[in-house]
């Protein structure tokens, strides 16, 4: 697919087919996705991939089946996601570097979503609050000093949402050409 078409036609996917996602394919896509610009080449990221039965680590964060606190809707919603990828970065103590690192990690996520889309694979970047909470961090082995940039839900789309219109960049351009 041509890059322009890929960029415009990629959608964030919420609802997936039951079909499994190949771990090898995702590893290969990630290997390409990390070719982002990265000031100082800090490359502070790593990726925690959760799939199969391990999805229960996430699905059971709001109670296990049988618990009084069990949230069946949350459990089912999470177990319907074929694969999760937590994009994790080491938090640099210097704020400027921390922002650069976060920006580069965001580029990886966009690269990955385009590469996945090209392969017919859907994805959504989720930023739910509980990815910063101790229970989620413990379940995925997130270390002190690490930040979860996003929890990516990955799978083959069962529904592709309509595109939401973008404000044309041409309406947002200020051209300065006078001395
Ligand atoms: C930083 C970031 C965080 C996001 N977090 C969520 C989220 O928590 N839940 C959600 O449904 N979508 C989330 N999204 C996806 C956006 O809602 C989606 O990109 C937007 O609606 C435009 O749709 P499109 O990606 O299909 O063009 C997030 C996107 C970004 C870039």
What are the start-end ranges of the H helices in 34-119?
Answer: 56-59, 72-79, 95-118
Closest C-alpha residue for ligand 1 atom 6: 126
Q: Whose CA is nearest to atom 31 of ligand 1?
A: 125
Is the distance from CB of 149 to CB of 89 less than 8 angstroms?
Answer: yes
Q: Whose CA is nearest to atom 29 of ligand 1?
A: 125
Q: Report pLDDT digits (tens) over 4-48.
A: 999 999 999 999 999 999 999 999 999 999 999 999 999 999 999
57 marked as binding residue: no
Q: What is the distance in A from the centroid of ligand 1 to the CA of 124?
A: 6
- Residue 125 Cα to ligand 1 midpoint, Å, equals 6
Counting residues of the chain whose pLDDT is more than 70, the rounded percentage is 100
Query: Exposure of 140 by Cβ count < 10 A (0-12 exposed, 13-18 middle, 19+ buried)?
Result: buried
Report the complex ipTM.
0.98
The band of 161, judged by pLDDT with boundaries at 50, 70 and 90, is very high
For ligand 1, residues with CB inside 6 Å are 11-12, 124-128, 161, 164
Domains of the chain as residue ranges with CATH: 3-172 (3.40.109.10)
Q: Which DSSP string do the residues of 45-64 spell out, in sequence order? A: EEEEEEEGGGGHHHHGGG--
pLDDT score at 123: 98
pLDDT (0 to 100) of residue 1? 75
What pLDDT does 74 receive?
A: 96
Residue 96: per-residue pLDDT = 98
* 132-143 average pLDDT score: 97
pLDDT confidence band for 58 (50 / 70 / 90) = very high
Residue 156 pLDDT grade (very low, low, confident, very high; cuts 50, 70, 90):
very high
Residue-wise pLDDT tens digits, 113-123: 999 999 999 99
Q: Is 125 annotated as a binding residue?
A: yes
Ligand 1, from 8, 14, 127, 129: best to mutate by most atoms within 8 Å of Cβ?
Answer: 127
Give kind and range of the element (H or E) at residue 32.
helix 23-33
Query: With 80 as the cut, is the pLDDT of residue 138 above it?
Result: yes
């Amino acid at each position: 697919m041509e890059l322009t078409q890929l960029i415009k036609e990629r959608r964030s996917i919420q609802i997936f087919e039951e079909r499994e996602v190949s771990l090898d394919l995702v590893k290969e896509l990630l290997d390409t996705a990390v070719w982002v610009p990265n000031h100082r080449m800090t490359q502070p990221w790593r990726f925690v991939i959760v799939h199969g039965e391990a999805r229960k680590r996430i699905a059971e964060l709001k109670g296990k089946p049988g618990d009084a606190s069990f949230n069946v809707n949350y459990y089912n919603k999470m177990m319907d996601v074929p694969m999760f990828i937590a994009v994790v970065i080491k938090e640099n103590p210097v704020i400027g570097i921390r922002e650069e690192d976060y920006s580069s990690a965001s580029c990886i996520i966009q690269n990955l979503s385009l590469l996945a889309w090209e392969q017919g694979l859907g994805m959504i970047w989720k930023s739910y609050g509980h990815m910063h909470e101790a229970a989620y961090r413990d379940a995925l082995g997130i270390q002190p000093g690490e930040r979860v940039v996003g929890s990516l839900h990955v799978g083959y789309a069962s529904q592709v949402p309509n595109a939401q219109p973008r404000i044309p960049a041409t309406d947002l351009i200020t051209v300065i050409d006078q001395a």
